[in-house]
Amino acid sequence: MLRRKIGLDLPGRVHNMARHSTRRTIVKHKFETLDGLRGIAAIAVLLFHRREWFGGPAFFGHAFLAVDFFFMLSGFVIAHAYEARLSAPGSLGGFVRDRIIRLHPLLALGSALGCAAFAIKALRAGEPLPFGAFAASFVPFPVFWANMESCFPINLPTWSLFWELLVNLVFALTVRRLTNSVLIAIIAASAIAMIGVSIPARGFQVGLDNPWLLWGIPRVCVSFFAGVLMLRLFRAGRRLPFSLGWMAPLLLLASFLLPHDHPLSWLYDPLIVFLLYPVILMSAAATAPALPRLTRFSADLSYPLYVLHVPILSFVALVFAKAGLTHGTPDMVRGAAILLVTVAICYAAGLFYDVPVRRFLRARWGSRSHRDAPLSAVDPAAAGR
């Protein structure tokens, strides 16, 4: 009954779709507005991690919810790019290779920079180097066995990439059994778990550290699989009766503004993630970008900025301090200068390192369809990123 109501018959329809050209499936819709929103969310995360330069906890205090938006967007675009093909036998290996090629060049660069920054700090303090944590950061994998300040001490944003890669694999392994009823059950159970944990954890900022590390499971599942379900609704022709238009990026930014550790975070976070973000996503998916060039820049910046900004910020701030460029300047001015340089470096890393490396890797080890498609057509959102 549910399948008929929303116009889908899965897994039957997925198998039928798999008969068509994979390349046509990939390039059918680019969702450029969604790509642009990724960049806005990544900039918000950058500001969140240096909010002390701009007024303290009240400045973009809830930008950690950008990760939940990333997970939801990832479910939407991963299902769009891969759901039909994953229903075919022998497709799992190609999917895993494609995801590693997409995520790991920049992840490895961020981990290398993070290891260097951590080593400099540790050697100055006369502390031993955590080689196990160094190695784990390249996977990435949480260092839950060590007595360290964080489970992801080398490059903090990799915590979301750990959950992203894990849920991608679960999706690929179970896609043939993911009927709409199963999806709804997963989403409902995960949502209930997140509502339950949001009270003692004071919101949704879980999944990255002890004692809340394992709560990353319901956190990633509720948003990712909601994105998958929304993709199916979108393909079935279901649309919102209205368009947010230019309000979509403004609403996304506004959702990050509640001060950190606000007493109502336990209520605010579920409302934003479960109600507002699906509306923003479905509206943006059906909307062409009003400013295509700016949207493309935002999309190209999003993943490099997210995965590189923590170690690059450390090095840029160190260079500024050594050169005396920030001596006597207000925190806000110094912070703005450092952030602008960091954004420029991250964008350059994406353009001059990530793009050519991925082009090289996918030409040799990518799935067959991705070897033939243009790079922009095989670039589902990286999440978390």
Residue 376 pLDDT > 70, yes or no? Answer: no
Across residues 287-302, what is the average pLDDT? Answer: 94
Reported pTM: 0.88
Residue 385 pLDDT > 80, yes or no? Answer: no
- Asked whether 303 and 157 are in contact (CB, 8 A), the reply is no
The gap between the terminal CA atoms of the chain, to the nearest Å, is 35
- Scanning the structure block, which residue is given the tokens 């759901």? 83
Q: pLDDT band for position 28 (50/70/90)? A: low
pLDDT the model gives residue 348: 98
Nearest to 29 by CA among 282, 285, 283: 285
* Burial group, residue 237, by CB count within 10 angstroms (0-12, 13-18, 19+): exposed
Residue 14 pLDDT > 80, yes or no? Answer: no
Across the chain, mean pLDDT equals 88
**Contacts by 185-193, CB closer than 8 A, 24 or more apart:** 186/221, 186/225, 187/221, 187/222, 187/225, 187/226, 187/229, 189/218, 190/217, 190/218, 190/219, 190/221, 190/222, 190/225, 191/218, 191/222, 191/270, 191/274, 193/218, 193/222
Across residues 66-73, what is the average pLDDT? Answer: 98
Of 378 and 286, which is predicted with more confidence? 286
93-144, pLDDT tens digit by residue?
999 999 999 999 999 999 999 999 999 989 999 999 999 999 999 999 999 8
Of 212 and 334, which is predicted with more confidence? 212
pLDDT the model gives residue 370: 57
Rounded CA-CA distance 76/5 in Å is 20
Q: Which of 11-25, 110-124, 303-317, 367-381 has the lowest mean pLDDT?
A: 11-25
Across residues 212-218, what is the average pLDDT? Answer: 97
Nearest to 367 by CA among 169, 48, 102: 102
Prior bond of 11 cis (ω within 30°): yes
151-194, pLDDT tens digit by residue?
999 999 999 999 999 999 999 999 999 999 999 999 999 999 99
- The identity of residue 269, as a single letter, is D
